Amino acid sequence: MVLVRKKSSKLEAFDEGKLMKSLLRANASKRVAKLVVEKVKEKLYDGISTEEIYKEAFRILREEEKHAAIKYDLKRALFRLGPTGFYFENYISELFREVYNYETKVRRLIRGKCVEHEVDVICKLDGDEYMLVECKYHNSQGIYTGLKTVMYTFARFLDLREGHKLKFCENFTEVCLATNTKFSDKAKAYASCRGIKLIGWKYPKGESLNNLIDKKCLYPVTILRNVDSFSLERLANANLLLVKDLIELSAKEIRSRTGLREKDILAIVEEAEMLLHS
């Protein structure tokens, strides 16, 4: 039995079934998924890190089925929406607009009963009702979004609820915490008790961040290897954070909005089409 070192430094037995499932979720063919697993197993040694396993699997997958390799990189693509949380907030705003058909606004100063709050994302619900969305972005793996963050989010929600009674702000009736990592068990328990909607990596089942992205093909542009930090800044400033937006515009339109070079745009769009049309 080979032991694998996780980001938390905890050791656990290598699970080839888990690797196989992650490859198939990325739309790798069964033949290639089996090939990747077998080749990864040849490289295993006690204490190998999950990052080393990922890099080897990604390398092989990229050689065999490039479109699947792009999807396999989703988790890390979300980490590349950094180094600050601004791009992640914009991305979550776009995600909620596409998935739930909400009207959204980002980074608005809203007066509660006690203090003013900068709300990451505001979603308009039915009638005069709104949802507060707190975004917790992490730029490295192995970090859980914990109880303290969930309690902080709920406290802000309560202050805004009381602010509405004093006619200081909109009528916030729902609250959500979105993150690109996993939630701790205590965070989940508190959120369930208080009616806080959570959206994170692999949580909740069927409606997790990765599920929503895959169902609607709402991949962030950072999943494309041709998008570097400079391109990301230009695309984000042009409000082009979804891969699907890139193939709906002509290269001329993208260049007009971003100022990127045509050859760079064509390379990015070609990769985007490979991802969405595979």
Query: In the chain, what are the domain boundaries?
Result: 3-72, 86-216, 219-276
Give 136's DSSP letter.
E
pLDDT at 278 exceeding the cut of 80: no
Confidence of residue 145 (pLDDT cuts 50, 70, 90): very high
Copy the structure tokens of residue 191: 């959120």
The CATH number of the structural domain formed by 219-276 is 1.10.150.20
Q: What integer pLDDT is reported at residue 84 of this predicted model?
A: 85
pLDDT at 255 exceeding the cut of 90: yes
End-to-end Cα spacing for the chain: 36
Q: What integer pLDDT is reported at residue 12 of this predicted model?
A: 93
Instruction: Give residue-wise pLDDT tens across range 11-57.
Output: 999 999 999 999 999 999 999 999 999 999 999 999 999 999 999 99
Q: What integer pLDDT is reported at residue 229 of this predicted model?
A: 94
Average pLDDT in the 91-106 region?
97
Tell me the whole-structure pTM to 2 decimals: 0.91
CA distance 183 to 148: 11
Q: Do the beta carbons of residue 209 and residue 231 sit within 8 Å?
A: no
Confidence of residue 199 (pLDDT cuts 50, 70, 90): very high
Confidence of residue 77 (pLDDT cuts 50, 70, 90): very high
Chain mean pLDDT for the chain: 95
Q: CB count, 10 Å around CB of 78?
A: 25
CATH topology of domain 86-216: Trna Endonuclease; Chain: A, domain 1 (3.40.1350)
CA distance 22 to 216: 18
Residue with tokens 């089925």: 65
Percent pLDDT > 90 in the chain is: 94
Between CA 221 and CA 232, with CA 226 as vertex, the angle to 5 degrees is 45
Q: What integer pLDDT is reported at residue 82 of this predicted model?
A: 85
